[in-house]
Amino acid sequence: MCGIFGAYSPRGKKVLEDVYLGLYALQHRGQEAAGVAWVNEGGRISSIKGSGLVHLALDQAKLAEIDASCAVGHVRYSTAGGPDLANAQPLTASTSKSSLAIAHNGNLTNAAGLKLFLENRGAIFYSATDTEVILHLIAHQPHKQPLDAFVDSLTRLRGAYSLAMVIGQDLVAARDPWGFRPLVIGMRDDVYYVSSETCALNLVGASIVREVEPGEVVIFGPGGIETIRIPVNVKRRFGCAFEFVYFARPDSVIDGRSVYEVRKDLGKKLAQRAPCPQAHLVTGMPDSGTIASMGYAGESTIPYEQTVVRNRYVGRTFIEPTQRVRELGVRIKLNPIEKILSGKNVVVVDDSIVRGTTCQRMISMIKACGASQVHVRISSPPVRFPCYYGIDTPTRVELAAAKMNLRQLEREVGADSLAYITEEDLIDAIGLPADTVCTACFSGNYMEGEEDSEPGL
């Protein structure tokens, strides 16, 4: 997971507060750490990183004062490397030719092999992230100009990378040739932005220019914008379906498709495929199932009700996991409204079942309020395979839908009925050609099955 944001002003405007705000809007993509890196007057790179949420990790007022017109930032959700601060990004480095800072969203699938190759040639890694491999690959080609070394390095990578970088005094954005993770360009006056999602561009008042194309490197420098193709031939695109299902903010637009509209349509299609005529009301798991549940309600004409209220101030790290708190479990975060649920047949819509814990707890909570029947509808196909491209899914043995068939899972979570959307309906709702969408977590069709996965070094 993770979110990245970059800003560049060719006229020397200060951009650090915008980067801070951009990260603030991308907070949902990672809550473990946040950081920014920028170019100083003399071309040196400075960075500040901290643990936790953006407003705790970074000092907005201090950043706003710093005179920097080229900067990148990152919010971290650790998928590769642990949560400690050494793994927080942007990572920075200096070579004899240039200073570098890198913010990465995605997971490289051949990082271990590359790391071994580099270590055998003397590289010393200071973090446990796959991202650091990219810096070492650049440093490994000292005879080349940094940008050429960077583009060459990208040809060695497999898997997912959306990058916002500082190379020298330029802002550089790059997206892997498969286009796993989103990355979009924005502009306000003469300031350029790159962002994981459009919602962050909305916040800084930037208009959306276009996506960084899969396989494209975009350089924002004093001379304007330059673009380079990464010389890797790929058979097809692999844009992440799970961004639409769960991960991206609903007010974002990915590949020209509104995430909100896709989720609503998923709910509508679920209502067509898996109707529940005996239900008195439709509700969504807050907040992940809310939009799809409204789509379900609209299509089925069963009334929508908000039956569970979420404490919106609950963070991941705020409450100590004592025994008492563990016993309270999901109630710390969610509280059902008994008056609405009592005696009712309820359709509960959520976006996904991963380990199955959330679903099980929600059903028992709703039943404890006196609901007569709970029918669960999931707006993604069963998650049966781990993601190696940057979404934090557990191993197969922990994935509920990989261990159990539908009926077993229905019993396990305590639902009166359980139904998922089909992969065809998911693709249809996303509205992009099927051979451009990655469904590996549902289908097990990984990019490695189609492409040369170990490029030469």
**How many angstroms separate the CA atoms of 82 and 356, rounded?**
24
SS3 labels along 180-214: CCCCEEEEECCEEEEECCHHHHHHCCCEEEEECCC
Single residue of 351, 377, 437, 438 touching ligand AMP by CB under 6 A = 351
CA distances from 104 to 39, 182, 280, 389 (A): 18, 12, 46, 12
Ranges within 415-434 binding ligand AMP (CB under 6 A)? none
Give the phi and the psi of residue 48 in degrees, each rounded to 5: -130, 130
Using the rule CB under 6 A, is 414 a contact of ligand AMP? Answer: no
Q: Which of 2, 70, 199, 276 is catalytic?
A: 2
Q: How many residues bind ligand AMP (CB under 6 A)?
A: 16
Task: Give the DSSP per-residue string, 101-155.
Answer: EEEEES-BTTHHHHHHHHHHTT---SSS-STHHHHHHHHT-TTS-HHHHHHHHHH
Ranges within 243-272 binding ligand AMP (CB under 6 A)? 246
Single residue of 355, 414, 416, 428 touching ligand AMP by CB under 6 A = 355
- Choice between 291 and 353, CB closer to ligand AMP: 353
Single residue of 98, 109, 162, 358 touching ligand AMP by CB under 6 A = 358
Q: Which stretch binds ligand AMP (CB under 6 A): 18-26, 140-148, 295-303, 347-355?
A: 347-355
Q: Min. distance of Cβ 211 from ligand AMP in angstroms?
A: 23
3 state DSSP class of 277: coil
Ranges within 367-406 binding ligand AMP (CB under 6 A)? 391-393
Q: Min. distance of Cβ 400 from ligand AMP in angstroms?
A: 6
Whether the Cβ atoms of residue 262 and residue 252 lie closer than 8 Å to each other: no
Q: Which stretch binds ligand AMP (CB under 6 A): 131-139, 324-332, 345-353, 417-425?
A: 345-353
What type of residue sits at position 5?
F
- 169 burial via Cβ count (<10 Å: 0-12, 13-18, 19+): middle
Q: Min. distance of Cβ 136 from ligand AMP in angstroms?
A: 28
Using the rule CB under 6 A, is 412 a contact of ligand AMP? Answer: no
- Choice between 8 and 389, CB closer to ligand AMP: 389
Q: Which stretch binds ligand AMP (CB under 6 A): 156-164, 166-174, 179-187, 349-357?
A: 349-357
Using the rule CB under 6 A, is 352 a contact of ligand AMP? Answer: yes
Using the rule CB under 6 A, is 410 a contact of ligand AMP? Answer: no
- Choice between 186 and 289, CB closer to ligand AMP: 289
Residue 2 bears catalytic tag: yes
The pair of three-digit structure tokens given for residue 419, joined into one six-digit string: 């139904």
Peptide bond into 287 cis (omega under 30): yes
Peptide bond into 90 cis (omega under 30): yes
Single residue of 58, 88, 354, 421 touching ligand AMP by CB under 6 A = 354
Ranges within 182-201 binding ligand AMP (CB under 6 A)? none
Q: Min. distance of Cβ 180 from ligand AMP in angstroms?
A: 14
Q: Min. distance of Cβ 291 from ligand AMP in angstroms?
A: 12
Using the rule CB under 6 A, is 285 a contact of ligand AMP? Answer: yes
- Choice between 47 and 358, CB closer to ligand AMP: 358
Whether the Cβ atoms of residue 222 and residue 168 lie closer than 8 Å to each other: no
Q: Residues 191, 193, 198, 199: is their CA dihedral positive or negative?
A: negative
Selection from 455, 449, 452, 434 nearest residue 239 by Cα? 434
Whether the Cβ atoms of residue 248 and residue 272 lie closer than 8 Å to each other: no
Mark 286-325 with x for binding to ligand AMP (rule: CB under 6 A) and - for no binding.
--x-------------------------------------
Count of CB atoms situated within 10 Å of the CB of 224: 9
Give the containing element (helix H, strand E) for 73.
strand 70-76
The pair of three-digit structure tokens given for residue 76, joined into one six-digit string: 């971290």
**How many residues are present in the chain?**
457
**How many angstroms separate the CA atoms of 217 and 55, rounded?**
30
Single residue of 32, 197, 305, 350 touching ligand AMP by CB under 6 A = 350
Tally of CA atoms within 13 A in the half-sphere of 13 that contains its CB: 15
Q: Min. distance of Cβ 344 from ligand AMP in angstroms?
A: 21
Q: Min. distance of Cβ 355 from ligand AMP in angstroms?
A: 3
Q: Which stretch binds ligand AMP (CB under 6 A): 57-65, 103-111, 312-320, 353-361?
A: 353-361
Q: Min. distance of Cβ 350 from ligand AMP in angstroms?
A: 5
Task: Write out the residues near ligand AMP by the rule CB under 6 A.
Answer: 246, 285, 288, 350-359, 391-393
Q: Give me the active site residues, please.
A: 2
